[in-house]
Structure 1
Amino acid sequence: MMTQKQKTAMIYSVPAILMGFAVLGNLFSKEFNWSSSDFLIAGILLFGTALIIDLIRRIVKNSTYKILLCIVVLFVLILTWVELAVGLFGTPFAGS
């Protein structure tokens, strides 16, 4: 059984690992070309999502609601990421 500290560490380690892969990809691959602002936005999105999921995990008591809320938060993250990357919805923030 995992303790609360281990669960919290796991929640925040996933975005850190993803950002680490992004840094390595940017260093060693020509196809991966992120600017510092791209890293800043990705960090805000990933760690902000981790924070929201951690808050949901701590505040919401019903496990069904926890799961549903976390799925909604992850869905919003994915839609935001896709919009910033390729402009799925055509907003002014759309990528190329």
Structure 2
Amino acid sequence: MKTKRILFIVLIVGALLLIPLIAMQFSDEVVWDLFDFLVVGILLLGTGFLIDLVLRKVSTTKNRFIICGVIFAVLFIIWAELAVGLFGSPFAGS
């Protein structure tokens, strides 16, 4: 059961990483290098594993939604910062 969950998370992350890879073949506007794929892969895997942990360990549905919402919010804030430097931090290379 645990192996199936891990495999499912890895397959979903792989499928999501295929989107920019395919887009790079058809557009000059999507320009990712290996480092970009690694960072996004780590972010998505980390998010997936954290969500899995929350779903296994937290008992109430309300708390699951709240914690998962916070995890997704943090993911989107980090993603936006890395993509466009939303806050202008050194984290984004600004």
Q: TM-score, normalised by structure 2?
A: 0.84
Aligned residue runs from structure 1 range 23-38, under 5 A? 23-38=21-36
d(CA) in 1 for partners of 2:93, 2:70: 23
Deviation at residue 10 of structure 1 after TM alignment: 5.2
Give the Cα separation in 2 of the matches to 1:4 and 1:64: 24
Q: Secondary structure at the match of 1:93?
A: helix
Q: Is the 8 A contact 1:83 1:95 kept in 2?
A: no
Percent identity at matched positions? 40
| Cα offset, 1:30, TM superposition | 1.3
Unaligned ranges ≥5, structure 2: none
Give the deviation of 1:16 after TM superposition: 2.3
Give the aligned length: 94
The C-alpha deviation readout for 1:24-80, integer Å capped at 9, x for no partner, is 112332111001000000000011100100000001011110011001100000000
CA RMSD of aligned residues (A): 2.3
Instruction: Flag structure 1 segments of 5+ consecutive residues without an equivalent.
Output: none
Counterpart CA distance in 2 for 1:45 and 1:92 is 18
Equivalent positions of 1:24-63 (< 5 A) are 24-63=22-61
State the shift of 1:9 in Å: 5.8
Shift of 1:6: 7.2
